[in-house]
Amino acid sequence: MHNPLAEQSSNDTANQSVAQLPQVTEPRNPGMELDLDWVARVQANTSAIERRCAALPARRSVKKEHQAAWLLKAVSCIDLTTLSGDDTEMRVGRLCAKARQPVNASVLAQLEMTGLTTGAVCVYHEMIPAAVRALVGTNIPVAAVSTGFPAGLSPLHLRIQEIKESVAAGAREIDIVISRRHVLTGDWQKLYDEMKDMRKACGDAHVKAILATGELGSLRNVARASLVCMMAGADFIKTSTGKESVNATLPVTLIMIRAIRDYFERTGYRIGYKPAGGISKAKDAITYLALMKEELGDRWLQPDLFRFGASSLLGDIERQLEHHLTGAYSASHRNPMG
């Protein structure tokens, strides 16, 4: 079996080329039979994971043009998101305009970067038609949160119907929420069956399984839930809805991407990863990208396999790019989301 870690190159080479890596289409994960023995063997050494993550930010600091390259890569991996109760078609339209032109054109010209967009636009079901209209002529997919987001406690048949209606409305990606109670009670068969039904309802749309890791009790539960969702056919596993008290963290990221690596080594299928919630600083984005590169290799630095669930992150990245070019930070209001 191909070892994804063998793809890693020197840190300098990665920094220089990270924004120009070619896009490759992966075969979708068909899933597999639930392997409860494999699930039971999964463990998590919490103290070792925390030590590894604590050392990463200082050890993987990058500067100047290398930093700019990593930040451009981060922009291409953002799911630009609005999930507010007061969302309107006008707000979604402005967000989509930002997705099409995420960084000031003059900044991109100085950096000799063309064709940069965000990875997707993520909205509630009601806003799908507005987003689809605003993104006509682009390859930017519309992602919709579904299945009783964020709690995921509505009846299963309604969650399945919601998925189908979002796909029919034009969503090319569906972010579903799992039933946390199945993880907390160790009912892996029920979690597998529900995830498999949701994957089937998505049809050709890719499905991101939101684990709500801050509510799963332990890193071991996170690892096991990640594995079960991949067995059931998830295309991505995602940390959080962004509505929990604890969202994406580096320890959770490490345990989830190692589960992705194990699944790839067993099956040959690459599963995507999406940290969501709480990532608002450019330096944090670089840390997450560095961790993906170290653990999974360059292939997982592409937007078809890695996304940030964020919006405020983009504003800080723009400020850092302007600082790289001018030596001064711009005011926050110069980089609005729409």
Q: Domain spans of the chain?
A: 28-334
* 164-208 pLDDT per residue, tens: 999 999 999 999 999 999 999 999 999 999 999 999 999 999 999
Say if residue 66's pLDDT is above 70. Answer: yes
Check if 208 is active-site. no
- From the list 274, 293, 304, 316, the catalytic residue is 274
The vertex-7 CA angle with 23 and 293, nearest 5°, equals 75
Catalytic residue among 73, 79, 98, 175: 175
Give the mean pLDDT of 66-90: 95
Is the per-residue pLDDT at 37 higher than 50? Answer: yes
May I ask the CATH architecture of the domain 28-334? Alpha-Beta Barrel (3.20)
Q: Residue 294's closest CA among 54, 8, 72, 69?
A: 8
Beta bridge partners of 81: 122
Residue 63 a catalytic site member: no
User: Among the options 196, 238, 284, 316, which is catalytic?
Assistant: 238
226, pLDDT greater than 50: yes
Closest by CA to 127, choosing from 97, 164, 173, 91, is 91
- How much is the pTM? 0.91
Asked if residue 100 has pLDDT above 50, the reply is: yes
Whether 102 has a pLDDT exceeding 90, the answer reads: yes
pLDDT, position 329: 73
Q: Tokens in use for 161?
A: 């119907």
Least confident of 110-124, 198-212, 253-267, 320-334: 320-334
Amino acid found at 293: K
* Contacts of range 44-48, beta carbons closer than 8 Å, 24 or more positions apart: 44/218, 44/219, 44/220, 44/222, 44/223, 44/255, 46/218, 46/219, 46/251
DSSP state of 86: T
Whether 175 sits among the annotated catalytic residues: the reply is yes
pLDDT confidence of residue 12:
44
Averaged pLDDT, 94-103? 96
Q: How confident is the model at residue 24 (pLDDT cuts 50, 70, 90)?
A: low
The whole-number pLDDT of residue 7 equals 40
